[in-house]
Structure 1
Amino acid sequence: MELANLVDYLYQRGAANFKVKLGLERIDELSKRIGSPQNTFKSIHITGTNGKGSVTTAISRILRFNGMKVGTYISPHLVSITERIKVNGENISEKEFVEIYNEIEEEIKTMDLKGEEYAPSFFEITTAMAFKYFEKQKVDVGVFEVGLGGRLDATNIINSDVSVITSISKDHIKTLGDTLEAIAYEKAGIIKKNNFLILGNIDESPKKVILNKAKEVNAEKIYEHGKDFYSINHRYFINNNMLDYHGLNYEIKDLIFGANGTFQIENVTTSLAATEAFMQKFGKTLSIEKVREAMANFYWEGRFEYTEINGKKMVFDGAHNLAAAQQLEKSVNLYFPTQKKIALIGILDDKDYEKMSQIFASVFDKIIVTSVPSERGRHPELIYEEFKKHTKNVEFIKDPSEGFNKLLSEKSDIYFVTGSLYLLGKMKELMSTNLVAL
């Protein structure tokens, strides 16, 4: 089977309609059927409303540069599904992706015969594939980003050694709850007995929920941002940011990292603490020199990602919820306070686009609203109407590729694509195949 055919098939299982199947029964059964591969390596588990992808990637880099063989599982992907499963920073090959699926297909089909309720979902299948691939690759540690929430997420059958909760804000409220406390409860579900727990910069009320859960399951140690670890002396330069880190056991002055955005300060700080905690738990020494090497070129694709295309300065930022839009506003004002800024924006229907549009309208001099390539992005016209309430300098181009070409035809100091990771992924795909004018 070719990769394209397999991806089409996996999407047909429900992912194309974004039918989320929460619950651990199916993934638990599937993993047992394939030999419980997730139990063959140490693991770190990361959740949070925002920042979990960056933290997952940063932790993986630091451990890899410190001599470990590291498996990394992230979602969603931007262009290729192979981005989701990595070993030592390299995507699983298309051939290996198909081979791993073929190895577990018989067990998936057996479960399918029991009925729709028992049929593994797209995400459950790719999670099982990551478990199996990491086992075959004999990784030392698997670093797993939660797909949605935590408590009932397919990744949560790992018996993690370190759990990380990066941030708590409102998103996916129909699934996770409409209060910070309810969302915190779902995120706290990844905490395990004897865990080392790392908490990012989280407000007191949701933090209390998390700490209660940690006590309930008997987490071994808890380290909190601002209390047990922190960073100071933040310096912001595009692709060349810097901070001083004060950690659990280490201090690092003038740490340079490539990832842009004010929010990446907290993500980098949390990543360093999580890596320290993991090394501490297993009596390993962290090389500060290797940390510097790992972080110097660290960035997270699609998060205030700066690049230049034919001399045009561009930023790709998948600010897909209200908290991320607020972070984008801070970062834009910090890095580009006086420059003219134009943006191509697409927002999913189920996001808080009323408030997001208000923020984006205050940030950009001109806005082009477009559709998001997703079943959850069926009504871009409604989002355009919302933007019109906040700015006169806005236009609507439904087709994203036409919108991107229009964006680049405008005169501006900086060009942005934002509002959805799905939109970013589509633009990157079009750029890679030369289907947009660069």
Structure 2
Amino acid sequence: MADAQQSSAAGTLATYEEARDWINGRVPFGIRPGLERMIKLMEAFGRPERRLKFIHVAGTNGKGSVCAYLTSVLIRCGYGVGTFTSPYITKFTNRFQYNGTDIPEETLLRLTNELKPHVEAIAETELGPPTMFEVSTALAILYFATVEYPDYVVWETGLGGRLDVTNIVTPVVSVITNIGHDHMDILGDTIEAVAREKAGIIKPGVPVVTAVGQPEAADVVAQAAQEKKSSLYRYGEKFGITPLTAREGEQTFRFDGLFRTIEPLTITLSGAHQRMNAAVAVMTLEVLRQYYALILDDEDLREGLRTAKWPGRLETISRSPRLLIDGAHNPEGAETLAAALRETYRYDKLHLMAGMLANKNHRDALRHILPLVDTLVVTEPDFRRAMPAEELAEIAVALREELGCSFELIVEPNWKQALRRLLSLTGGGDLAVVTGTLYLIADVRSHVLYNTDSEKGW
């Protein structure tokens, strides 16, 4: 990466790899909430984001799945759809998609070269150097506003909402999936504080769809919507679901909305939480139908939901032995994974491999999972800020005693060796699960499915 940065410092980037490395080389500038640098970047290009219709999606968990449902249905309905999400699972270009296809490498290179002099000029001002996520977000806007011209852009927040750089846009609808215990070192140390940050994406008069559950968080979102005079559609009040069938790889439900009831709807993503995520997407589409005359045929809705995929979330990537991956990197995600393992999956023994970053609430996350496992393999993701396997093992040992559960503990810092151990333990009737940070999930997925390394990153 250093060589690429040196070769490009004076001028034009020559290859996709140089462009990617130049953007990722901005990671050391950190996460600096605020919109000043982003506004400067967009002003240099005539505020291109104002020409696009965004569906802005925030929340602690479920953002990616909701984005996947929305993208799949809108494409099925015949609309051009841009999608911007993070982190990526396999390749940097995954983050910028048009109609489900990654940005071409040559387009990314060209747009990065257009951005580069403006990024470097801002870096010389009192605002300081734009971050990796700011440059990536600017790149997404340029791609959609000057190359592809989609009808809708499904636009996922990076972190929080109010000061997240994606909040430079004024959307046609805002979505807040849920509120949980994640990034509390940045967003605030209470659920109400986190909710206030997420609710910062609510814009005056723009309708809001949410599945926020906790009363204290729901009150914060409702107050923000009221202050902005935005119509609020909350799961459990204005819309909901009735489960019909559920099995591994497929579940059906009835959608009960303010405007109409639709049944049956089928999704292939597993877990009860995915029914709620799908309902949030359907309500968002219903709002677009009511407010903006979106043409939404029921058959397109059904087929779009059924074919939606979101890699790395309760995804089966091997059948023999059976291997499930799930990026449950916070307590709410772990609770959701545990519920799915109890309710959806059948197995004789459960063998689980976990690797985490150092800045997460691992004790509360593991508390949900450990009572279910027969074997726990702790490892380390190949990524900066990885939590040492021994430290994660210490938490697991303390919880094993506290919870009174019984499992074999294996400590293997090398994730590839840990994966071999995991799979060697998994008999014909057993289930192997890899969970934790999405950076570990990305590597395991690429290794098992493609026998390659992932480009993984935020």
Which one of 89, 92, 104 corresponds to residue 115 of structure 2?
A: 104
Residues 1:292 and 2:307 aligned together: no
Q: Deviations over 1:269-317 (max 9, x none)?
A: 11100111122211233211100111112121111112325x2211110
Structure 2 Cα separation of the partners of residues 360 and 371 of structure 1: 18
- Residue 127 of structure 1 and its aligned partner are, at CA, apart by 0.5
8 Å CA contact retained: 1:201, 1:226: no
8 Å CA contact retained: 1:248, 1:277: no
Which one of 370, 375, 379 corresponds to residue 384 of structure 2?
A: 375
* Counterpart position of 1:395: 410
Unaligned runs of 5+ in 2: 1-13, 401-405, 454-458
Q: Deviations over 1:192-238 (max 9, x none)?
A: 0110110114221111111111122222x211111111110242212
Unaligned runs of 5+ in 1: none
Q: Counterparts of 1:219-238 in structure 2 under 5 Å?
A: 219=230, 221-238=231-248
Structure 1 Cα separation of the partners of residues 168 and 25 of structure 2: 25
Secondary structure of the equivalent of 1:63?
helix
* Counterpart position of 1:202: 213
Cα RMSD over matched residues?
A: 1.6
Structure 2 Cα separation of the partners of residues 238 and 198 of structure 1: 28
8 Å CA contact retained: 2:272, 2:340: yes
Residues 1:9 and 2:22 aligned together: yes
Which one of 172, 179, 187 corresponds to residue 198 of structure 2?
A: 187
For structure 1, which segment, 221-230 or 333-342, has the greater mean C-alpha deviation from structure 2 after superposition? 333-342
Structure 2 Cα separation of the partners of residues 273 and 10 of structure 1: 36
Structure 2: which amino acid aligns with 1:132? Answer: L
Residues 1:419 and 2:430 aligned together: no
* Counterpart position of 1:275: 285
Q: Counterparts of 1:340-379 in structure 2 under 5 Å?
A: 340-379=349-388
Structure 2 Cα separation of the partners of residues 378 and 333 of structure 1: 27
8 Å CA contact retained: 1:346, 1:419: yes
Structure 2 Cα separation of the partners of residues 139 and 337 of structure 1: 42
- Residue 4 of structure 1 and its aligned partner are, at CA, apart by 2.4
The 1:238–1:341 alpha-carbon spacing in structure 2 relative to 1, beyond 3 Å, is same
- Residue 379 of structure 1 and its aligned partner are, at CA, apart by 2.5
Structure 1 Cα separation of the partners of residues 35 and 82 of structure 2: 22
Residues 1:386 and 2:403 aligned together: no
8 Å CA contact retained: 2:379, 2:414: yes
- Residue 5 of structure 1 and its aligned partner are, at CA, apart by 2.4
Structure 2: which amino acid aligns with 1:133? Answer: Y
Secondary structure of the equivalent of 2:324?
strand
Residues 1:322 and 2:359 aligned together: no
Structure 1 Cα separation of the partners of residues 393 and 45 of structure 2: 48
Residues 1:51 and 2:66 aligned together: no
* Counterpart position of 1:306: 316
Structure 2 Cα separation of the partners of residues 305 and 314 of structure 1: 8
8 Å CA contact retained: 1:260, 1:299: no
- Residue 356 of structure 1 and its aligned partner are, at CA, apart by 1.9
* Counterpart position of 2:7: none
Secondary structure of the equivalent of 1:235?
strand
Kindly tell me the number of residue pairs found equivalent between the two proteins. 431
Secondary structure of the equivalent of 2:225?
helix
Structure 1: which amino acid aligns with 2:293? Answer: G
8 Å CA contact retained: 2:23, 2:136: no
* Counterpart position of 2:53: 42
- Residue 18 of structure 1 and its aligned partner are, at CA, apart by 7.8
- Residue 405 of structure 1 and its aligned partner are, at CA, apart by 1.5
Q: Deviations over 1:68-94 (max 9, x none)?
A: 111000000012011101111111122
For structure 1, which segment, 77-86 or 299-308, has the greater mean C-alpha deviation from structure 2 after superposition? 299-308
Q: Deviations over 1:217-274 (max 9, x none)?
A: 222x211111111110242212211111112323221211111112111100111001
For structure 1, which segment, 423-432 or 60-69, has the greater mean C-alpha deviation from structure 2 after superposition? 423-432
Structure 2 Cα separation of the partners of residues 242 and 307 of structure 1: 22
Output the TM-score relative to the length of structure 1. 0.95
Structure 1 Cα separation of the partners of residues 84 and 242 of structure 2: 30
For structure 1, which segment, 147-156 or 390-399, has the greater mean C-alpha deviation from structure 2 after superposition? 390-399
Structure 1: which amino acid aligns with 2:128? Answer: Y
Structure 2: which amino acid aligns with 1:131? Answer: I
- Residue 385 of structure 1 and its aligned partner are, at CA, apart by 1.2
Residues 1:262 and 2:272 aligned together: yes
Structure 2 Cα separation of the partners of residues 265 and 153 of structure 1: 27
Structure 2 Cα separation of the partners of residues 411 and 57 of structure 1: 31
8 Å CA contact retained: 2:16, 2:105: yes
